[in-house]
Amino acid sequence: MAEVQFKVESGVAFVTLTRPPANALARSVMDQLDQHFETVYKDESIRAVVLHGEGRFFAAGADIKEFTDVKDDAEFAKLGKKGQDTFAKIENSPKPVIAAIHGAALGGGLELALACHIRIAAEGSKLGLPELNLGLIPGFGGTQRLPRLVGKAKALELILTSKPLSAEEAQSLGLVNHVTTEELLLQEATKLANVIALKSPLTVQRALELVALSDLETDEGFQKELEFFGEVFKREDRKEGVQAFIDKRKPVFTGK
């Protein structure tokens, strides 16, 4: 049975968690996410991705029941490595991934959202890393990605207290880009994905790579920016974009 659904409409891939009641991130869910993002990487018709959850929640965390089956620390670390590798594939996607969050994004669910490039949350949703309440720590990248978005001090407060944030609080910290109603959530995420899907795919990919490099706080990003700036200048899409601006019309990018 598919626990993660996948479809493509007008250049936008929709990846939907469908594991009721909480869309818990079991090993099987991780495997299916990994497979679907392989398709995202390879399918040139896909220009953007919307990731969301069916039912009451985006994803309420890892599958805690699976933890009871783990026999030793090596196996537990292997479980964490699976989560880290899957979320790294999402974070490094050459097509932007938009998380549409409703209900709850807790624990592994928030770590999944943190791996996405843009986050939109519904009013009333809760976001947090409650692992310390279980005698655990975040293991799918949360301790590394959260500080990049909200700063070290605030990230430590949220992790050490296990206190969840409201959608509005998350937006005020820069953790969430936009807050909307639950009824309009998927519509707003799709609208944003459709805007991005009209851009030249190479320029979108290069922008994603360059912004990721900004976390390193070195000159590498500036050097790569110059390299990529020269690269896109030679492309047909650049010529089309400039000519469309001159002609006062919308550009039609082909990816060439």
Q: Which residues pair with 51 in a beta bridge?
A: 15, 99
How many whole angstroms separate alpha carbon 95 and alpha carbon 87? 14
Residue spans of alpha helices (H) in 92-233: 108-115, 142-150, 152-161, 167-172, 185-197, 201-213, 220-233
The gap from C-alpha 108 to its chain's centroid, in whole angstroms, comes to: 12
Q: What is the largest CA-CA distance in the chain?
A: 66
Q: List, by residue number, the catalytic residues.
A: 111, 131
* Cβ atoms < 10 Å from Cβ of 103: 21
Distance CA(3)–CA(30), nearest Å, equals 10
Note whether 91 and 113 are within 8 A (CB): no
Find out whether 181 and 168 touch, Cβ atoms under 8 Å: no
Could you give the C-alpha distances from 76 to 86, 140, 246, in angstroms and in order?
Answer: 16, 12, 58
CA atoms of 158 and 132, how far apart (whole Å): 10
The structure tokens listed for 114 are 């943190």
